[in-house]
Structure 1
Amino acid sequence: MANESILLDPEFDTPGKSRGLIDVFKYRYLLTLLLKKGMSTRYYGSVLGWVWSYIRPAAQFLMYYIVVGIIMNGDRGVPLFPVYLFSGIVAVNLFSEILRNTTAAVVDNRALVQKIFLPRELFPVAAVGVALLHFLPQAILLLAVVLFLGWTISLAQIAAFVVGLIIIIVFALGLGLLFGAVNVAYRDARNFVDLILMFATWASPVLYSWTMVHDRAPSWLFHTYMLNPLTSAVQLFHDTFWQPLAPDVAHPDLLMTYVGVGVAISFITLVVGQLVFRKLEPAFAQRI
């Protein structure tokens, strides 16, 4: 009778059973500890520490501005090109850091995976949190620049920023869950992610205007390009920080349609990533 009452108890959970991303909210304390661990080890032993969060995007911006903007005349027809460039770099850097960190999250925490049970999704979600904390200095720097240039905030800009941020986080986390699970058994996954990140900057309007693709590419290729969730996210970041300073510049037709599709693709990617992650999760401790 005792065993029967335990089985019928709605509060009884099978040891080692996880409900996926839903359980992340149940283990908030562990998530906080993983965030602190990620922050403390990020620049462990570094002299400059957090300053690297400013140096890296600044060096990246300077390189692209000199090569693409000045030498290749990429700034032609794009007013306030430095603001346009940096707002795109900030968006792509967040996507890159989330995807890279989430792909490596399970393997980097192999000691915990092998010793105790906890929802394995905690590791990639904590990696997202660390990436967002390192995103803040870049966003603050961008905000300071546009405020100096006369930028004023509106509800439309806040909405564009939030939606762009959601697309980046959800899309990158979905891909990170997928490749992070595969990476446990096959380290080739990290190399494949590096290829994706190598193309990410060029496959979205960061270094050039979307009009160049519109004017030179076939119609089907332009629509495919615009359906890329990262393209929508970068364009929304431009709408937030750059477009108000250059109101006369042409705006993509059907942008809201592309954004809607981008949001849908991002959440579909998250669902697929979670399903693959849960399918491969039982073998993590043995294969890691």
Structure 2
Amino acid sequence: MRARVTDWRASPSTIVRVTRSTPAEDLSGFSVPGAGRGILDVFRYRYLLRLLIRKGTQTRYHGSVLGWTWSYVKPAAQFAIFYVVLGVFLDLNRGIEGFPIYLFSGIIVINLFNEAFGNATKSIVNNAPLVKKIYLPRELFPVADVFIAFVHFLPQLAILLVVVLLNGWAPTAVQIAGVFVALILVLVLALGLGLLFGSVNVSFRDAQNVVEIILLFSTWSAPVLYSFTLVRDKLPQWLFELYMANPLTSAVELFHSAFWYPTTVTSPERPENLWLLATVGMVIAALFLLIGQLVFRKFEGRFAQDL
């Protein structure tokens, strides 16, 4: 494509109009913020995504004495506090068979969600120098933080596997499949909410305070520290069904079904239609991902300016 440029030249007797063609500037190699394919563009930058994940995992405990040991110490301390208060003082250790496994298998699910969601919310602000200097799919940052949270979740899962194996763990293939479904559900939900609040947080830092309140309630919004039967016996039926539709509830109960239930002797009561509830939870998580992506794209063009 060529542009026509008009040049006026003066001579002693007349003014001559000279028209010449010049090549138009080629902008095909440039990307306009907000004009890409959103999360789909992350797959085109897989190398950069790996670098961000590696940076996040290697610098998490940089300069600390214990290093990666903190990935085991923190959940162990959290478990000890909840077990003493709820299991011993409130006597849930007797009311729920295998309460330590029940408790820990739920805690690690909530920890995964809290870390992934919380870090994704701050991902754009934390990477402000990159966002302001160069263009790349900004979704890379929340996606990388969700993957980093998953990497930090693996040591906790390893502890749980050791404990259940020592207690005669013998799961079925369906129960193992439930673990993968639960992980996908939690990660998709955390990414969707992270995109939503992470984009708003760039312009309105109050969003981070809202996220902290959500994380405060997340541990109690699913049957981690108590049994779902307590909720069923106290709430009206419609409100209980709404509680069970919570994606975190489905994810926690899938983990209970895979890790806790196979180690029990009395076959405790489990939620009815758990896979249907998981499907509903997956739809809700996917809806949040869609909303989060749309809001992210709306605010993306202002990131560099607001930062």
Which TM-score bucket, shorter chain as reference? over 0.9
**Residue identity in the other structure for 1:272:** I
| Equivalent AA in structure 2 for residue 47 of structure 1 | V
Deviations 1:154-177 (A, max 9, x none): 311221001100110000110000
> C-alpha offsets along residues 190-226 of structure 1, whole Å, 9 cap, x if unaligned?
1111111111111100000001111121112211110
- How many residues matched? 284
In 2, Cα distance between equivalents of 1:13 and 1:272: 29
For 1:218, the equivalent position in structure 2 comes to 236
The offset of 1:46, in angstroms, is 1.0
Partner of 1:75, secondary structure, is helix
**Counterpart in 1 of 2:282?**
263
Q: Which residue of 2 aligns with 1:281?
A: 300
Matched, 1:32 2:50: yes
- Alignment partner for residue 158 of structure 1, among 170, 176, 180? 176
Distance 1:51 1:182 in 2: 34
Deviation (angstroms), 1:76: 3.4
Alignment of 1:1-288 (within 5 A): 1=1, 12=28, 14-16=30-32, 17-246=35-264, 248-288=267-307
- CA distance, structure 2, for counterparts of residue 35 and residue 123 of structure 1: 9
Equivalent-residue separation in structure 2 for 1:275 and 1:69 (angstroms): 44
**Equivalent position of 2:19 in the other structure:** none
Moved over 3 A (4+): none
Secondary structure, counterpart of 2:95 in structure 1: coil
Instruction: Tell me how far apart the structure 2 counterparts of residues 47 and 186 of structure 1 sit (CA, whole Å).
Output: 36
Specify the SS of the correspondent of 2:94. Answer: coil
Equivalent-residue separation in structure 1 for 2:276 and 2:40 (angstroms): 29
Instruction: Measure the CA separation in 2 of the matches of 1:13 and 1:75.
Output: 63
| Deviation of the 1:72 alpha carbon | 1.1
The residue type equivalent to 1:250 in the other structure is E
What runs of 5+ residues in structure 2 fail to find an aligned partner?
4-22
Distance in 1 of aligned mates of 2:87 and 2:212: 25
Q: Deviations over 1:57-84 (max 9, x none)?
A: 0000000000011101223331000000
Taking the aligned partners of 1:216 and 1:15, their CA distance within structure 2 comes to: 55
The structure with the greater share of residues assigned to helix is: 1
* Greater C-alpha radius of gyration: 2
One-letter amino acid of the counterpart of residue 228, structure 1:
N
* Higher deviation after alignment, 84-93 or 40-49: 40-49
Question: Which amino acid letter does the alignment assign opposite residue 15 of structure 1?
Answer: S
Q: CA deviation at 1:38?
A: 0.8
Cα deviation for residue 2 of structure 1 reads 5.7
* Residue 45 of structure 1: how far off its partner (Å): 1.4
CA distance in 2, matches of 1:182, 1:49: 33
Provide the rounded CA distance (Å) in 1 between the counterparts of 2:117 and 2:214.
10
Shift of 1:51: 0.7
CA–CA separation in structure 2 for the residues paired with 1:255 and 1:150:
24
User: By percentage of residues, which structure has more strand?
Assistant: 2
Distance 1:168 1:40, change over 3 A: same
3-state DSSP of counterpart to 2:93: coil
Following superposition, the deviation at residue 40 of structure 1 comes to: 2.2
AA partner of residue 226 (structure 1): M
Instruction: State the match for 2:6 in structure 1.
Output: none
- 2:272 counterpart letter in structure 1: D
Distance in structure 2 (CA, Å) of the matches to 1:150 and 1:244: 8
Question: Unaligned stretches of 5+ in structure 1?
Answer: none
In structure 2, how many angstroms separate the alpha carbons of the residues matched to 1:148 and 1:75? Answer: 19
Structure 2 CA distance, aligned partners of 1:179 and 1:75?
A: 38
| Greater relative CO (CA pairs within 8 A, separation 6+) | 1
Q: Report percent identity of matched pairs.
A: 54
Give the letter for the 2:303 counterpart. F
